[in-house]
Amino acid sequence: MTLPTRKMGPFEVSAVSLGCMNLNHAYGGFPPEEEAVRLLNRALDLGVTMLDTAALYGDGENERLVGRAVMHRRSEFTLASKCVLGLFDGKRGLDGRPEAIAATLEGALRRLGTDHIDLYYLHRLDPKVPIEDSVGALVRAREAGKIGAIGISEMSAATLRRASAVHPIAAIQNEYSPAVRNVEIGVLDACRDLGTAMVAFSPVVRGLLAGAIRSADYAKGDIRGVMPRFVEPQLSENLKLVDAFDRIADEAGLAPAQLALGWVLAQDENVIALPGTTNIAHLEEDVATLAKLVPRDALDAVTALFPFNAMRGPRYAAFAQAQVDTEVLPGEELAA
């Protein structure tokens, strides 16, 4: 199948692509490997042409999974992975030093079973290392033929501009959804100026706008259990917004996830939606968004429903917020 595509540096990728993280990282309740393999191959069968992983996910196991599952179909997709954010001596941390980036890349190539990663991101900004030095390491990797294009993730418009002064940045990956609109402060404008794609992770708000969350009864290890918007007393208030969102989707003849994805894609032609899932039926529903007409009045109603800071609680807990460089909305850090 051929899906509508959007430009991402030297690549054209499906406007709805696939984040692989959920298959063995972050949310718990992971599927058996055979089911994960089926899902990844089904994504390619449906016409998805970008798969996104990272060294952090499952401490490298997500990259190994992608390598085992689909590398025999390498010509069918753009492969993206990430460095800098990882587990060091068992603890999550940042290491943006050029030598650390080079070592992580070599490990990623081994885990993926390839000699080339199409798009390689700096997963986070290491505040101890100038962004210019970290980007420089990726420039050298590109010159060596180990990567094809450079990306950055969870970074601000100012950092994107600094990075782009060293080398063109093909993509910046930040959270973007009807309910999380921080990129509208400056990142989207910077993307337009620089010709950088905005890859929107968590476009269905970690399942909140896909009918997946009705209580804070999460699996063991699920990161949503420590995210302020996904626990009480904030969650009950946020679910009132979700109920209103679901009514808009129903009136438009769409699944909630399809309305969320359609809204994200409608915001700018530079935006690529990157949902993740462990369920093939949900994957098919997400991809089917590209064949749906999302009514203009539904898009407008969603925008009105989620003004800045409509969600109760900050996006991240303090320890996680300290590891991101993205803009914070006015008052977000004070949201209760």
Cα 309 to chain centroid, rounded = 20
Q: Which of 23, 14, 15, 13 is nearest to 277 (CA)?
A: 23
Distance CA(185)–CA(327), nearest Å, equals 7
Is 57 an active-site residue? yes
Residue type, 328: V
Q: Which string of b and e fits 141-159 if b means at least 16 CB within 10 Å?
A: beeeebbbbbbbbbbbbeb
User: How far apart are alpha carbons 314 and 328 in whole angstroms?
Assistant: 9
Q: Are 25 and 37 in contact (CB under 8 A)?
A: no
- Alpha carbons 33 and 263: distance in angstroms, whole number: 32
Amino acid letter, 46? L
Question: Out of 27, 57, 121, 218, which one is annotated catalytic?
Answer: 57
DSSP assignment letter at 70: H
Q: What values do phi and psi take at 125, rounded to 5?
A: -85, 125
**What single letter denotes the amino acid at residue 261?**
L
Beta strands in the chain (DSSP E): 5-8, 11-14, 18-19, 50-52, 78-83, 85-88, 91-94, 117-122, 147-153, 171-175, 197-201, 271-274
Q: Which residues are catalytic?
A: 57
